[in-house]
Structure 1
Amino acid sequence: MRRRTLLKGAALGGVAVMTGGFWALGSPAPAPVSLEGARRVLDGLAGRPLISVTGWSPAEVFNHCAQSIEYSLEGYPELKPAWFRHSIGPAAFAVFSARGAMRHPLQEAIPGAAPLAEPTGQDAALQRLQAAFARFATHTGALQPHFAYGALDHDAYSQAHVLHLYNHLSLIRLA
Protein backbone atom coordinates (compact mmCIF):
# COMPACT_ATOMS: atom_id res chain seq x y z
CA MET A 1 0.00 0.00 0.00
CA ARG A 2 2.76 2.45 0.91
CA ARG A 3 4.69 1.55 -2.21
CA ARG A 4 1.68 2.38 -4.43
CA THR A 5 1.22 5.73 -2.67
CA LEU A 6 4.92 6.50 -3.06
CA LEU A 7 4.84 5.63 -6.78
CA LYS A 8 1.76 7.79 -7.39
CA GLY A 9 3.37 10.69 -5.56
CA ALA A 10 6.58 10.32 -7.53
CA ALA A 11 4.67 10.23 -10.82
CA LEU A 12 2.66 13.34 -9.99
CA GLY A 13 5.79 15.08 -8.75
CA GLY A 14 7.52 14.30 -12.02
CA VAL A 15 4.60 15.70 -13.98
CA ALA A 16 4.66 18.82 -11.80
CA VAL A 17 8.33 19.37 -12.61
CA MET A 18 7.69 18.84 -16.33
CA THR A 19 4.85 21.38 -16.29
CA GLY A 20 7.01 24.19 -14.99
CA GLY A 21 7.04 23.80 -11.23
CA PHE A 22 3.26 23.75 -11.21
CA TRP A 23 2.86 23.17 -7.47
CA ALA A 24 4.29 26.64 -6.77
CA LEU A 25 1.37 28.19 -8.65
CA GLY A 26 -0.65 30.21 -6.20
CA SER A 27 -2.67 32.83 -8.06
CA PRO A 28 -6.45 32.42 -7.84
CA ALA A 29 -8.66 32.07 -10.90
CA PRO A 30 -10.33 35.32 -11.98
CA ALA A 31 -13.75 33.58 -11.95
CA PRO A 32 -15.17 30.07 -11.56
CA VAL A 33 -13.53 27.48 -13.81
CA SER A 34 -16.55 27.13 -16.07
CA LEU A 35 -17.66 28.30 -19.50
CA GLU A 36 -19.98 30.80 -17.79
CA GLY A 37 -17.11 32.09 -15.64
CA ALA A 38 -14.93 32.55 -18.72
CA ARG A 39 -17.77 34.33 -20.53
CA ARG A 40 -18.16 36.78 -17.63
CA VAL A 41 -14.42 37.48 -17.56
CA LEU A 42 -14.31 38.10 -21.30
CA ASP A 43 -17.42 40.30 -21.18
CA GLY A 44 -15.65 42.39 -18.52
CA LEU A 45 -12.69 42.96 -20.86
CA ALA A 46 -14.75 44.13 -23.84
CA GLY A 47 -14.10 47.72 -24.83
CA ARG A 48 -11.38 48.22 -22.21
CA PRO A 49 -7.80 49.18 -23.06
CA LEU A 50 -5.53 46.24 -22.22
CA ILE A 51 -1.80 45.65 -22.16
CA SER A 52 0.31 42.57 -21.81
CA VAL A 53 2.92 42.48 -19.07
CA THR A 54 5.19 40.45 -21.36
CA GLY A 55 5.02 38.40 -24.52
CA TRP A 56 2.03 38.37 -26.82
CA SER A 57 -0.31 41.33 -27.17
CA PRO A 58 -3.87 40.94 -25.84
CA ALA A 59 -5.08 40.42 -29.44
CA GLU A 60 -2.55 37.62 -29.97
CA VAL A 61 -3.56 35.99 -26.67
CA PHE A 62 -7.25 36.11 -27.64
CA ASN A 63 -6.47 34.67 -31.09
CA HIS A 64 -4.34 31.90 -29.56
CA CYS A 65 -7.07 30.90 -27.10
CA ALA A 66 -9.68 31.04 -29.88
CA GLN A 67 -7.48 28.78 -32.05
CA SER A 68 -7.32 26.19 -29.30
CA ILE A 69 -11.10 26.11 -28.97
CA GLU A 70 -11.64 26.03 -32.74
CA TYR A 71 -9.11 23.20 -33.12
CA SER A 72 -10.93 21.16 -30.48
CA LEU A 73 -13.94 21.23 -32.82
CA GLU A 74 -12.16 20.99 -36.19
CA GLY A 75 -8.90 19.17 -35.44
CA TYR A 76 -5.46 20.36 -34.42
CA PRO A 77 -3.00 20.87 -37.28
CA GLU A 78 -0.33 18.73 -35.54
CA LEU A 79 -0.53 16.21 -32.73
CA LYS A 80 2.13 15.10 -30.28
CA PRO A 81 3.09 11.43 -30.73
CA ALA A 82 0.49 8.89 -29.61
CA TRP A 83 2.68 7.71 -26.72
CA PHE A 84 2.72 11.31 -25.39
CA ARG A 85 -1.06 11.77 -25.82
CA HIS A 86 -1.61 8.54 -23.86
CA SER A 87 0.84 9.18 -21.01
CA ILE A 88 2.50 12.51 -20.23
CA GLY A 89 -0.22 14.70 -21.77
CA PRO A 90 -3.15 13.22 -19.81
CA ALA A 91 -1.05 13.14 -16.63
CA ALA A 92 -0.27 16.85 -17.00
CA PHE A 93 -3.94 17.63 -17.59
CA ALA A 94 -4.89 15.56 -14.53
CA VAL A 95 -2.57 17.73 -12.43
CA PHE A 96 -4.02 20.94 -13.91
CA SER A 97 -7.56 19.66 -13.39
CA ALA A 98 -6.94 18.60 -9.79
CA ARG A 99 -5.26 21.90 -8.99
CA GLY A 100 -7.89 24.00 -10.79
CA ALA A 101 -5.19 25.99 -12.55
CA MET A 102 -2.86 25.58 -15.51
CA ARG A 103 0.70 26.68 -15.98
CA HIS A 104 2.33 26.37 -19.38
CA PRO A 105 4.72 28.41 -21.56
CA LEU A 106 2.67 31.50 -22.40
CA GLN A 107 4.43 32.34 -25.67
CA GLU A 108 4.37 28.87 -27.17
CA ALA A 109 2.16 28.55 -30.23
CA ILE A 110 -0.02 25.52 -30.85
CA PRO A 111 2.04 23.17 -33.06
CA GLY A 112 1.30 23.89 -36.73
CA ALA A 113 -1.14 26.71 -35.92
CA ALA A 114 -1.63 29.71 -38.16
CA PRO A 115 0.09 32.94 -37.11
CA LEU A 116 -1.76 34.93 -34.44
CA ALA A 117 -2.16 37.95 -36.70
CA GLU A 118 -5.88 37.75 -37.53
CA PRO A 119 -7.85 39.59 -36.46
CA THR A 120 -5.29 42.26 -35.58
CA GLY A 121 -7.39 44.48 -33.35
CA GLN A 122 -7.96 43.67 -29.69
CA ASP A 123 -11.75 44.07 -29.87
CA ALA A 124 -12.08 41.88 -32.98
CA ALA A 125 -9.81 39.20 -31.49
CA LEU A 126 -11.84 39.24 -28.27
CA GLN A 127 -15.03 38.83 -30.30
CA ARG A 128 -13.44 35.87 -32.10
CA LEU A 129 -12.65 34.28 -28.72
CA GLN A 130 -16.14 34.93 -27.38
CA ALA A 131 -17.64 33.40 -30.53
CA ALA A 132 -15.37 30.35 -30.20
CA PHE A 133 -16.47 29.82 -26.59
CA ALA A 134 -20.14 30.23 -27.59
CA ARG A 135 -19.73 27.74 -30.44
CA PHE A 136 -17.98 25.26 -28.15
CA ALA A 137 -20.66 25.62 -25.45
CA THR A 138 -23.41 24.58 -27.86
CA HIS A 139 -21.43 21.89 -29.69
CA THR A 140 -22.96 18.44 -29.31
CA GLY A 141 -20.90 16.46 -31.81
CA ALA A 142 -17.63 14.65 -31.49
CA LEU A 143 -14.59 16.56 -30.28
CA GLN A 144 -11.15 16.24 -31.80
CA PRO A 145 -8.23 14.92 -29.73
CA HIS A 146 -6.20 17.61 -27.99
CA PHE A 147 -2.72 17.87 -29.48
CA ALA A 148 -1.11 17.00 -26.11
CA TYR A 149 -3.85 15.70 -23.76
CA GLY A 150 -5.45 13.29 -26.23
CA ALA A 151 -9.15 12.45 -26.14
CA LEU A 152 -11.22 14.67 -23.83
CA ASP A 153 -14.97 14.75 -23.31
CA HIS A 154 -16.91 18.02 -23.41
CA ASP A 155 -16.61 18.68 -19.67
CA ALA A 156 -12.87 18.04 -19.59
CA TYR A 157 -12.32 20.14 -22.71
CA SER A 158 -14.39 22.94 -21.15
CA GLN A 159 -12.14 22.89 -18.13
CA ALA A 160 -9.01 22.77 -20.30
CA HIS A 161 -10.13 25.77 -22.38
CA VAL A 162 -11.03 27.84 -19.32
CA LEU A 163 -7.82 26.98 -17.46
CA HIS A 164 -5.86 27.80 -20.62
CA LEU A 165 -7.57 31.18 -20.91
CA TYR A 166 -7.05 32.03 -17.24
CA ASN A 167 -3.36 31.12 -17.46
CA HIS A 168 -2.91 33.52 -20.39
CA LEU A 169 -4.95 36.27 -18.74
CA SER A 170 -2.49 36.26 -15.85
CA LEU A 171 -0.24 38.45 -18.02
CA ILE A 172 -2.93 40.90 -19.21
CA ARG A 173 -3.73 44.09 -17.35
CA LEU A 174 -5.86 47.17 -17.84
CA ALA A 175 -3.84 49.87 -19.62
Structure 2
Amino acid sequence: MMNRRQFMQFSLVTTTMLTIGGTAWVSVEPEVVPLDIDSMITLLDKVMISHPVANGEWDVAQILQHCAQSVEYSMLGYPQHKSDLFKVTLGSLAFAVFESKRKMSHSLSEPIPGAASLDTHLLLNTSHNLTTAYARFKQSLIDFRAYDGVLAPHFAYGALTKKQYELAHGMHFMDHLLEVELR
Protein backbone atom coordinates (compact mmCIF):
# COMPACT_ATOMS: atom_id res chain seq x y z
CA MET A 1 0.00 0.00 0.00
CA MET A 2 1.27 3.43 -0.95
CA ASN A 3 1.63 6.10 1.74
CA ARG A 4 0.94 9.77 1.05
CA ARG A 5 4.62 10.64 0.42
CA GLN A 6 5.08 7.75 -2.03
CA PHE A 7 1.86 8.73 -3.78
CA MET A 8 3.04 12.34 -4.16
CA GLN A 9 6.42 11.21 -5.51
CA PHE A 10 4.72 8.80 -7.91
CA SER A 11 2.34 11.57 -9.01
CA LEU A 12 5.18 14.04 -9.62
CA VAL A 13 7.24 11.55 -11.61
CA THR A 14 4.20 10.43 -13.60
CA THR A 15 3.14 14.00 -14.36
CA THR A 16 6.65 14.93 -15.48
CA MET A 17 6.95 11.85 -17.71
CA LEU A 18 3.52 12.42 -19.22
CA THR A 19 4.25 16.09 -19.91
CA ILE A 20 7.56 15.38 -21.63
CA GLY A 21 6.31 12.32 -23.48
CA GLY A 22 2.99 13.89 -24.41
CA THR A 23 4.62 17.02 -25.81
CA ALA A 24 6.90 14.95 -28.04
CA TRP A 25 4.15 12.56 -29.05
CA VAL A 26 1.69 15.25 -30.16
CA SER A 27 4.00 16.07 -33.05
CA VAL A 28 3.94 12.47 -34.35
CA GLU A 29 1.61 11.94 -37.30
CA PRO A 30 -0.89 9.07 -37.03
CA GLU A 31 -0.07 5.93 -39.00
CA VAL A 32 -2.27 5.44 -42.07
CA VAL A 33 -1.14 1.91 -42.96
CA PRO A 34 -3.84 -0.73 -42.34
CA LEU A 35 -2.96 -2.52 -39.11
CA ASP A 36 -5.33 -5.49 -39.20
CA ILE A 37 -4.15 -9.11 -39.23
CA ASP A 38 -4.78 -9.66 -42.95
CA SER A 39 -2.76 -6.56 -43.83
CA MET A 40 0.05 -7.68 -41.51
CA ILE A 41 0.18 -11.09 -43.20
CA THR A 42 0.32 -9.42 -46.62
CA LEU A 43 3.06 -7.06 -45.42
CA LEU A 44 5.00 -9.94 -43.86
CA ASP A 45 4.88 -11.81 -47.18
CA LYS A 46 6.16 -8.69 -49.00
CA VAL A 47 8.96 -8.27 -46.48
CA MET A 48 10.07 -11.85 -46.99
CA ILE A 49 10.35 -11.59 -50.78
CA SER A 50 12.33 -8.35 -50.43
CA HIS A 51 15.45 -9.96 -48.92
CA PRO A 52 15.18 -8.18 -45.55
CA VAL A 53 18.26 -7.21 -43.57
CA ALA A 54 18.10 -5.86 -40.02
CA ASN A 55 20.12 -2.83 -39.01
CA GLY A 56 19.56 -3.03 -35.24
CA GLU A 57 20.67 -5.34 -32.44
CA TRP A 58 18.44 -8.22 -33.60
CA ASP A 59 18.54 -9.93 -36.94
CA VAL A 60 15.34 -10.38 -38.96
CA ALA A 61 14.77 -13.93 -37.69
CA GLN A 62 14.94 -12.70 -34.08
CA ILE A 63 12.54 -9.86 -34.83
CA LEU A 64 10.02 -12.24 -36.38
CA GLN A 65 10.34 -14.68 -33.46
CA HIS A 66 9.81 -11.84 -30.99
CA CYS A 67 6.70 -10.65 -32.86
CA ALA A 68 5.40 -14.23 -32.94
CA GLN A 69 5.92 -14.54 -29.18
CA SER A 70 3.85 -11.43 -28.59
CA VAL A 71 0.95 -12.75 -30.68
CA GLU A 72 1.17 -16.20 -29.07
CA TYR A 73 1.25 -14.77 -25.54
CA SER A 74 -1.87 -12.71 -26.22
CA MET A 75 -3.71 -16.02 -26.56
CA LEU A 76 -1.79 -18.15 -24.04
CA GLY A 77 -0.82 -15.62 -21.36
CA TYR A 78 2.31 -13.57 -20.82
CA PRO A 79 4.93 -15.14 -18.52
CA GLN A 80 5.51 -11.96 -16.44
CA HIS A 81 3.51 -8.80 -15.90
CA LYS A 82 4.11 -5.25 -14.80
CA SER A 83 2.32 -4.33 -11.57
CA ASP A 84 -1.42 -3.80 -11.61
CA LEU A 85 -0.77 -0.16 -10.69
CA PHE A 86 1.47 0.23 -13.74
CA LYS A 87 -1.09 -1.40 -16.03
CA VAL A 88 -3.97 0.84 -14.90
CA THR A 89 -1.87 4.03 -15.06
CA LEU A 90 1.14 4.29 -17.36
CA GLY A 91 0.45 1.09 -19.27
CA SER A 92 -3.14 1.88 -20.19
CA LEU A 93 -2.20 5.50 -20.91
CA ALA A 94 0.63 4.42 -23.21
CA PHE A 95 -1.70 2.10 -25.11
CA ALA A 96 -4.34 4.84 -25.41
CA VAL A 97 -1.74 7.18 -26.93
CA PHE A 98 -0.46 4.47 -29.29
CA GLU A 99 -4.01 3.57 -30.24
CA SER A 100 -4.90 7.20 -30.99
CA LYS A 101 -1.86 7.61 -33.24
CA ARG A 102 -2.03 4.04 -34.58
CA LYS A 103 1.71 3.97 -34.01
CA MET A 104 3.90 2.50 -31.28
CA SER A 105 7.38 3.31 -30.11
CA HIS A 106 9.24 0.90 -27.84
CA SER A 107 12.68 -0.57 -27.24
CA LEU A 108 13.35 -2.68 -30.32
CA SER A 109 15.79 -5.06 -28.65
CA GLU A 110 14.06 -5.62 -25.32
CA PRO A 111 12.57 -9.09 -24.92
CA ILE A 112 9.08 -9.65 -23.58
CA PRO A 113 9.48 -10.03 -19.79
CA GLY A 114 9.90 -13.69 -18.92
CA ALA A 115 9.70 -14.80 -22.55
CA ALA A 116 11.63 -17.81 -23.73
CA SER A 117 14.95 -16.83 -25.24
CA LEU A 118 14.91 -16.31 -28.95
CA ASP A 119 16.02 -19.56 -30.50
CA THR A 120 19.79 -19.62 -30.52
CA HIS A 121 19.88 -21.85 -33.60
CA LEU A 122 18.11 -19.06 -35.46
CA LEU A 123 20.66 -16.42 -34.55
CA LEU A 124 22.52 -16.87 -37.81
CA ASN A 125 20.38 -15.13 -40.38
CA THR A 126 20.48 -17.87 -42.98
CA SER A 127 17.71 -18.39 -45.48
CA HIS A 128 16.44 -21.50 -43.63
CA ASN A 129 16.41 -19.77 -40.23
CA LEU A 130 14.62 -16.75 -41.62
CA THR A 131 12.05 -19.01 -43.29
CA THR A 132 11.44 -20.81 -39.98
CA ALA A 133 10.93 -17.53 -38.08
CA TYR A 134 8.70 -16.19 -40.87
CA ALA A 135 6.54 -19.33 -40.78
CA ARG A 136 6.16 -19.09 -37.00
CA PHE A 137 5.12 -15.43 -37.07
CA LYS A 138 2.73 -15.95 -39.97
CA GLN A 139 1.14 -18.95 -38.23
CA SER A 140 0.74 -16.95 -35.01
CA LEU A 141 -1.15 -14.26 -36.96
CA ILE A 142 -3.36 -16.88 -38.63
CA ASP A 143 -4.01 -18.50 -35.25
CA PHE A 144 -4.86 -15.14 -33.69
CA ARG A 145 -7.28 -14.32 -36.50
CA ALA A 146 -9.13 -17.61 -35.88
CA TYR A 147 -8.92 -17.44 -32.08
CA ASP A 148 -12.25 -17.04 -30.29
CA GLY A 149 -11.19 -17.79 -26.71
CA VAL A 150 -10.53 -15.39 -23.85
CA LEU A 151 -7.53 -13.20 -24.55
CA ALA A 152 -4.83 -12.89 -21.90
CA PRO A 153 -4.16 -9.48 -20.37
CA HIS A 154 -1.18 -7.73 -21.92
CA PHE A 155 1.84 -7.65 -19.62
CA ALA A 156 1.97 -3.83 -19.68
CA TYR A 157 -1.37 -2.59 -21.05
CA GLY A 158 -3.72 -4.91 -19.16
CA ALA A 159 -6.97 -6.20 -20.65
CA LEU A 160 -7.37 -5.54 -24.38
CA THR A 161 -10.19 -6.45 -26.74
CA LYS A 162 -9.45 -8.56 -29.78
CA LYS A 163 -9.59 -5.45 -31.98
CA GLN A 164 -7.18 -3.63 -29.65
CA TYR A 165 -4.82 -6.61 -29.66
CA GLU A 166 -4.99 -6.76 -33.44
CA LEU A 167 -3.98 -3.10 -33.55
CA ALA A 168 -1.26 -3.67 -30.92
CA HIS A 169 0.22 -6.56 -32.93
CA GLY A 170 0.14 -4.47 -36.10
CA MET A 171 1.78 -1.47 -34.43
CA HIS A 172 4.36 -3.75 -32.81
CA PHE A 173 5.34 -5.30 -36.14
CA MET A 174 5.46 -1.90 -37.86
CA ASP A 175 7.71 -0.50 -35.12
CA HIS A 176 10.14 -3.40 -35.54
CA LEU A 177 10.15 -2.89 -39.32
CA LEU A 178 11.87 0.44 -38.69
CA GLU A 179 15.04 -1.61 -38.22
CA VAL A 180 14.54 -3.73 -41.32
CA GLU A 181 15.92 -2.75 -44.69
CA LEU A 182 14.27 -4.22 -47.77
CA ARG A 183 16.44 -4.84 -50.82
TM superposition score normalised by structure 1: 0.84
Query: 1:27-54: CA deviations, max 9, x gaps?
Result: 956x411112111101112344221112
Q: 1:171 — aligned with what?
A: 179
CA deviation after TM superposition for structure 1 residue 129, in Å: 0.3
Q: Quote the Cα distance in structure 1 between the aligned partners of 2:158 and 2:80.
A: 12
**Structure 1's 81 and 127: CA in aligned 2 closer, same or farther, altered over 3 A?**
same
Q: 1:81 — aligned with what?
A: 83
Query: 1:72-99: CA deviations, max 9, x gaps?
Result: 1101000000111111101100000000
Q: Which has the larger radius of gyration?
A: 2
Query: 1:55-82: CA deviations, max 9, x gaps?
Result: 1100000000000000011010000001
Q: Quote the Cα distance in structure 2 between the aligned partners of 1:15 and 1:32.
A: 29
Percent identity between matched residues is 33
> Is residue 102 from structure 1 mapped to residue 110 from structure 2 by the alignment?
no
Aligned residues: 164
For residues 107-118 of structure 1, the aligned pairs below 5 Å read 107-117=109-119
CA RMSD of superposed structures (Å): 2.5
Q: Quote the Cα distance in structure 2 between the aligned partners of 1:16 and 1:69.
A: 30
Q: 2:36 — aligned with what?
A: 34
CA deviation after TM superposition for structure 1 residue 22, in Å: 3.6
Q: Quote the Cα distance in structure 1 between the aligned partners of 2:116 and 2:26.
A: 32
> Is residue 14 from structure 1 mapped to residue 40 from structure 2 by the alignment?
no
- What amino acid does structure 1 have at the position aligned with 2:144? F
The answer on whether the counterparts of 1:119 and 1:125 sit within 8 Å (CA) in structure 2 is no
Q: Structure 1: which 5+ runs fail to align?
A: 1-9
From the two aligned structures, give the one with the greater helix fraction: 2
- What amino acid does structure 1 have at the position aligned with 2:51? P
Q: 2:134 — aligned with what?
A: 126
The answer on whether the counterparts of 1:22 and 1:103 sit within 8 Å (CA) in structure 2 is no
**Structure 1's 50 and 60: CA in aligned 2 closer, same or farther, altered over 3 A?**
same
Q: Quote the Cα distance in structure 1 between the aligned partners of 2:180 and 2:120.
A: 19
Q: Quote the Cα distance in structure 2 between the aligned partners of 1:105 and 1:167.
A: 9
CA deviation after TM superposition for structure 1 residue 152, in Å: 0.5
Q: Structure 2: which 5+ runs fail to align?
A: 1-13, 123-128
Q: Quote the Cα distance in structure 1 between the aligned partners of 2:96 and 2:167.
A: 11
Query: 1:82-131: CA deviations, max 9, x gaps?
Result: 11111110110000000010001111110011111266111110110000
Query: 1:114-153: CA deviations, max 9, x gaps?
Result: 1112661111101100000000001001000000000001
TM superposition score normalised by structure 2: 0.81
